[in-house]
């Protein structure tokens, strides 16, 4: 009995000691689990410093690496500690991918990042330059050249907010937008990404940044990145700096200009972007007076980071380091040294990321690139990730799924189309104004290959990088559809892409709407020395406008050669690249709203005059900067 009692007591003491041990272990393990960088109550810099102090060189260099979606398996992200993933133009999880497909893809990648030792979330970036332009059924807004013609920063801010919601709907927290280039030569194939040739207008239109990111609090330190919450995205001012001023408008070329010229024309939008809390800045492929921007220590580190006190991160353009040398990738090791030393923090290496990681690691270990430079880069990247809220909410959900391409955003895009249209001519001399058009007519002719082509209407950076032709790329309304839905039910609308004179006469049309312009293009492929209207556009203008009263709508990313045809045209409208909501064109043509847009670019007579911008001594335009006729809405039409 005594032995039994002693055994019972021993078991009780053992159980007690085990309980004490477990309690102590719980306290110890709980303390081990608590880390400052995971505590949202801690100040931002405390969290950054705590995390940075725990990181190995491999983890730091991983944070500096951004790879293309195609390579970004969870395993790759985990193995190399990859800090960021991007979709290049047209890079999607599947054709016509749903919101759910996008969210699942991003979350699957995020699992790879969150399962690393420190669990630093990756940040996914995408071009959203006129709405969420890679994504099927997203709202496609007018390109920036059209938004510049609205002179309406409040509208542009709303567009930023709508775009942010659509991007977040697909699980993405970071956009490579806005482009704040000041395009000084329309021969440049990215000119439509620029709001204006006038830096003041581009500065005003940086209101898109608080639209995308949320309004920065009044007492915030200037230059510190700001993202308001889960309905907003980190934005990127691009392409730093002088990308719109290259010689002959050639993409990625040399911008030949004095420092005063650079600072007074191309730099001002960056001042506004930084004051508004822009999260990141993307470096331009171009050079300034022969020095590649990706290797320009003075402009990236001395000026942007030190003088302007920008505290977000600086990112390369697509394979931007490769292009430091000519030909590209001739000496990749040198390119890494030059770019990282210049002050670049995150490197877009879509495909050869292992080569980049290995080479940069070697350079740090050999003292070629100091650890302080690496720490500066990673500190900036972490600052943006903390600001975006990725540590608190690394995974996306489907709570915003209904935001993609919703009615409210399409109505906003339609408003933007209305306000972006510039009326260049309204009636021949001595005649009554032609616009607004009457809705009641027996027959109307609609002509031109741009009248019924949603792809042409949207332009480049739409579903595909260079854009597409046709009406099956995404959801939207063509100009032809818009005309049909606007005119009186008894009015017959006749459509022909390229009508001959006999066809035109036989229609007996009261008047014609002719839509002509450029085919879609993006950077590089869009550079043009002749800036002509796509065939058979000129022929359609001549055939139609000789026989019937005509309004010509120009769908283009920039001013094009129109001077030879102006006298034969009754009314002329610059519609730029209006996007998916073609109904906005008909709204103004038929007088439901008045024309109010003003040229954000000078319209030249001949390409021989280029470059020509307002204020130049040889200024002799066809239509000057700021030009735009107005009309009044018609109550009963």
> Residue 138: CA atoms inside 13 Å, Cβ hemisphere, count?
32
**Catalytic residue flag (residue 317):** yes
pLDDT tops 90 at residue 19: no
Q: Answer whether residue 5 shows pLDDT above 50.
A: no
Supply the pLDDT for residue 344.
98
Structure confidence at residue 32 (pLDDT):
53
Under the banding of pLDDT at 50, 70 and 90, the label for residue 635 is confident
Q: What is the pLDDT of residues 201-254, one digit of tens each?
A: 999 999 999 999 999 999 899 999 999 999 999 999 999 999 999 999 999 999
Q: What pLDDT is stored for residue 633 in this prediction?
A: 97
Q: How many CB atoms lie within 10 A of CB 38?
A: 15
Q: What angle do CA 585, 590, 596 make, to 5 degrees?
A: 60
pLDDT over threshold 60, residue 30: no
Residue 2 has pLDDT above 50, yes or no: no
pLDDT band of residue 465 (cuts 50, 70, 90) is very high
User: How far is the CA of 316 from the CAs of 45, 310, 339, 471, 474, in angstroms?
Assistant: 25, 16, 9, 34, 30
Q: Which secondary structure element, helix H or strand E, spans residue 224, and what is its range?
A: none
Q: Closest by alpha carbon to 458, among 560, 557, 579?
A: 579
To the nearest whole number, what is the mean pLDDT of the chain?
95
Q: Name which of 270, 291, 349 is nearest 315 in CA terms.
A: 349
State yes or no: pLDDT of 297 exceeds 50: yes
Q: What is the 3-state secondary structure (H, E, C) of 416-474?
A: HHHHHCEEEEECCCCCCCCCCCCCCCCEEEEECCCCCCHHHHHCCCECECCCCCCCCCC
Q: To the nearest 5 percent, what fractions of the chain are helix, strand and coil?
A: 40, 15, 45
| pLDDT tens sequence across 328-371 | 999 999 999 999 999 999 999 999 999 999 999 999 999 999 99
The confidence score (pLDDT) of residue 6 equals: 45
Q: What percent of the chain has pLDDT over 70?
A: 95
- C-alpha separations of 394 from 210, 596, 624 in Å: 22, 44, 50
**Which of 185, 204, 317, 570 is the catalytic position?**
317
Q: Residue 255, SS3? A: strand
- What span, in angstroms and rounded, lies between the C-alpha atoms of 159 and 155? 6
pLDDT above 90: residue 305: yes
Measured in whole angstroms, the distance separating CA 431 from the mean position of its chain's CA atoms is 43
Q: What is the pLDDT of residue 92?
A: 98
Contact 80, 62 (CB under 8 A): yes
Q: What is the pLDDT of residue 33?
A: 77
pLDDT (tens digit per residue) in 158-202: 999 999 999 999 999 999 999 999 999 999 999 999 999 999 999
Q: Which residues contact 43 (CB under 8 A, 6 or more apart)?
A: none
pTM: 0.95
Question: Which listed residue (193, 415, 523, 587) is catalytic?
Answer: 523
pLDDT number for residue 21 = 45
Q: Would you say how long the chain is, in residues?
A: 637
Beta strand pairing status for 280-283 and 236-240?
Answer: parallel
In this predicted structure, what is the pLDDT of residue 16? 45
Q: What is the mean pLDDT of residues 517-543?
A: 98
3-state secondary structure of 603: strand
Q: What percent of the chain has pLDDT over 90?
A: 94
Q: Token pair for residue 341?
A: 């030393």
Q: What is the pLDDT of residue 637?
A: 54
């Amino acid at each position: 009995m005594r032995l039994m009692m002693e055994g019972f007591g021993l078991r009780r003491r053992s159980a007690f000691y085990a309980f004490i041990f477990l309690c102590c272990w719980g306290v110890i393990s709980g303390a081990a689990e608590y880390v400052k960088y995971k505590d949202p109550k801690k100040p931002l810099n405390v969290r950054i410093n705590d995390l940075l102090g725990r990181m190995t060189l491999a983890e730091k260099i991983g944070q500096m690496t951004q790879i293309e979606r195609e390579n970004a398996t969870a395993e790759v992200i985990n193995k190399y500690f990859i800090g960021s993933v991007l979709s290049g133009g047209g890079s999607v999880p599947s054709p016509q991918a749903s919101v759910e497909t996008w969210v699942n893809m991003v979350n699957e990648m995020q699992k790879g990042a969150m399962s690393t030792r420190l669990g630093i979330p990756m940040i996914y970036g995408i071009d959203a330059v006129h709405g969420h332009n890679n994504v099927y059924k997203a709202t496609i807004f007018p390109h920036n050249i059209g938004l510049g013609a609205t002179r309406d920063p409040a509208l542009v801010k709303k567009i930023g907010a709508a775009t942010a919601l659509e991007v977040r709907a697909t699980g993405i927290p970071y956009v490579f937008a806005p482009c704040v280039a000041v395009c000084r030569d329309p021969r440049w194939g990215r000119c439509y990404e620029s709001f204006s040739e006038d830096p003041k207008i581009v500065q005003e239109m940086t209101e898109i940044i608080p639209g995308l990111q949320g309004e920065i609090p009044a007492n915030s330190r200037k230059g510190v990145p700001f993202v308001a919450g889960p309905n907003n995205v980190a934005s990127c001012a691009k392409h730093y700096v002088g990308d719109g001023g290259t010689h002959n408008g050639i993409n990625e070329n040399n911008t030949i200009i004095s420092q005063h010229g650079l600072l007074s024309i191309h730099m001002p939008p960056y001042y506004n972007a930084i004051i508004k809390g822009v999260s990141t800045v993307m470096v331009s492929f171009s050079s300034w007076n022969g020095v590649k921007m990706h290797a320009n220590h003075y402009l990236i580190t001395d000026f942007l980071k030190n003088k302007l006190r920008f505290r977000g991160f600086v990112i390369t353009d697509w394979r931007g380091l490769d292009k430091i040398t000519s030909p590209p990738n001739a000496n990749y090791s040198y390119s890494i040294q030059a770019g990282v030393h210049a002050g670049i923090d995150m490197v877009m290496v879509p495909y050869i990321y292992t080569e980049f990681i290995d080479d940069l690691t070697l350079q740090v270990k050999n003292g070629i690139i100091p650890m302080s430079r690496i720490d500066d880069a990673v500190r900036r990247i972490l600052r943006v990730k903390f600001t975006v809220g990725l540590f608190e909410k690394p995974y996306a959900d489907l709570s915003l799924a209904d935001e993609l391409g919703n009615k409210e955003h399409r109505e906003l895009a339609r408003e933007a189309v209305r306000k972006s249209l510039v009326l260049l001519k309204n009636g021949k001399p001595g005649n009554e104004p032609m616009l607004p058009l009457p809705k009641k007519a027996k027959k109307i002719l609609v002509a031109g290959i741009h009248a019924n082509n949603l792809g042409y209407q949207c332009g480049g950076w739409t579903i595909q990088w260079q854009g597409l032709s046709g009406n099956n790329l995404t959801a939207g309304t063509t100009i032809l559809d818009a005309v049909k839905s606007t005119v009186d039910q008894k009015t017959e609308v006749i459509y022909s892409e390229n009508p001959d004179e006999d066809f035109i006469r036989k229609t007996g049309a009261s008047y014609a709407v002719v839509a002509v312009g450029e085919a879609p293009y993006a950077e590089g492929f869009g550079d043009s020395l002749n800036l002509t209207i796509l065939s058979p556009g000129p022929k359609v203008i001549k055939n139609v406008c000789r026989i019937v009263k005509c309004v010509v709508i120009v769908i283009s990313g920039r001013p094009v050669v129109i001077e030879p045809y102006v006298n034969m045209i009754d009314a002329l409208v610059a519609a730029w690249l209006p996007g998916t909501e073609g109904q906005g064109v008909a709204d103004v043509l038929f007088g439901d709203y008045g024309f109010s847009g003003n040229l954000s670019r000078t319209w030249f007579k001949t390409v021989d005059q280029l470059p020509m911008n307002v204020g130049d001594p040889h200024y002799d335009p066809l239509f000057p900067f700021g030009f735009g006729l107005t009309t009044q809405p018609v109550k009963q039409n």
